[in-house]
Structure 1
């Protein structure tokens, strides 16, 4: 009898330890089964956990199943994952809790056009925004950016999720669409992956609209949301977040494209985002960014 009680107690302790280990495992969703895509966001999240030891141990792990953005939202709501990152919109912020720090300094709203290599003549520097709206464009079917383009009068269609956006690049390659607006952070990596296709970056134009990429958590997980906000604030204050951002060549290339003085700039409204941030460039507005994070 005593042995049975002893075994039961041991099993209870084991179950308790297992549950504790499970609770310390923070699952981050992902779009692709590739270590490069989202590696910056994962590193930021790991740095956040390291900067907030008083909240307990936490191990970041990636969800085993790559998925579209809409499925990532469902995964958080179902409790299959804890954190996702994506650009925001009003609908997404109603479903989930956003951590309102633009991880990419607002550069997600700076878009260049991926076009066929022999199609630059369709995008001369002199064309107006209204003329640009007559060109056929493609975006991800569940991307908030699709609504941004359409609500600003652009001729943009949605395409279903595909591995590394192959379908979008194929549509550009075959002339089914004139261009694929891609944010300046990710476009260079995309072109490396699609080097077998005769596509390139239009050299004359830049679309700009408020577009912020956040971490999101389940609306009931206030403790995790607070930990991420506190951690990000500390990373801004001690310079770690800026150092992480600058480690990536794609980020440097993005700033080169975004700051290119020779590009015609087309400013769009983001009707699905009911606010503007005055600290999107958190590297230049540290105090504002930290105050906003800690005041949420």
Structure 2
């Protein structure tokens, strides 16, 4: 039998315990304030998924100084969990091994479709590319330490590495033949970084390797991980995510391009995925050519 003293302690402990019904999942997302269509898509997916859970939540940007912050720095902040607790980056990155991954590809496999940006000389030579062996005769530009760089090297491609912005000028200077870009990024980048129209996207040619963007959260934040995965699965089943991809300004043109051009597709292997990432990419897919 519980005495009065013990009963008072039990009541105090009960009243101090968090009420799950009133728990607010506080998400601090990296890059939230970046005025970029690709970043806006990540936020739209996150909000759609969290609303589908029926749970209470809030989303705000990481509380860090308003300076350029690298993915590696965001990883460090998210590991600590104080200022940031969620980011989006490519599956298979060695940086995220210490984070808690949410095994769901936010582009439903679309992140694996790549196009080649070319200069005038390489654009002409690209007409004869049909196979991976054909592509191995050319030099491909890619970022230092990028997941894409490692994938291409593992497939026997000759990769020239550089900083993101420098690679556009290096391509113009013919330091390499093609710059490997996401199907979501290439058109906007030409508008921004090729005002003198020296570059173009190789028509009717697409590279594909199994990769996509995933959310990663702070280890131990099971509330974020479980809720977000539940919400992502729900908006996939309901068709809301596919509809967002059809309508969003960062994805609709890419899907139309893949549907209308019937491109040559060169498939590359990707051995950098974790088993969970690979299974998620195989499970949650959209036919980008329909």
TM-score range, shorter chain: 0.7 to 0.9
1:65 deviates by 4.3
Normalised TM-score (structure 1): 0.77
Cα distance between partner residues in 2 of 1:125 and 1:248: 34
Deviation at 1:126, TM superposition (A): 4.5
Aligned residues: 257
Structure 1 residues 96-245: aligned runs within 5 Å:
96-126=99-129, 128-160=131-163, 165-197=164-196, 198-245=198-245
Please, what is the CA RMSD of the aligned residues?
2.6
Structure 2 gaps, min length 5: 1-23
Output the CA distance in 2 between the equivalents of 1:105 and 1:131.
29
Q: Does 1:271 align with 2:274?
A: no
The match for 2:78 is: 76
Q: Which runs of 4+ in 1 moved over 6 A?
A: none
CA positional deviation for 1:259? 4.2
Contact 1:102 1:214 survives alignment (8 Å): yes
Task: Give the match's secondary structure for 1:60.
Answer: strand
1:107–1:59 CA distance, 2 compared to 1 (3 A): closer
* CA–CA separation in structure 1 for the residues paired with 2:180 and 2:266: 12
Closer/same/farther in 2, CA of residues 278 and 25 from structure 1, 3 Å limit: closer
Name 2:3's counterpart in structure 1.
none
Q: CA deviation at 1:31?
A: 9.1
Distance in 2 (CA, whole Å) between partners of 1:60 and 1:196 is 34
CA contact (8 A) 1:48 1:232 kept: yes
Contact 2:130 2:266 in 1 (8 A): no
How far apart, in 2, do the equivalents of 1:282 and 1:167 lie?
33
User: Alpha-carbon deviation of 1:203?
Assistant: 1.5
TM-score (norm 2): 0.78
CA drift of 1:151 comes to 0.5
Unaligned runs of 5+ in 1: 1-22, 285-296
Quick check: 1:115–1:179 contact (8 Å CA) kept in 2?
A: yes
Looking at structure 1, the residues matched to 157 and 32 of structure 2 have their Cα atoms a distance apart, in angstroms, of: 26
Query: For residues 118 and 174 of structure 2, what CA distance do their matches in structure 1 show?
Result: 9
Measure how far apart 1:41 and its partner are: 0.6
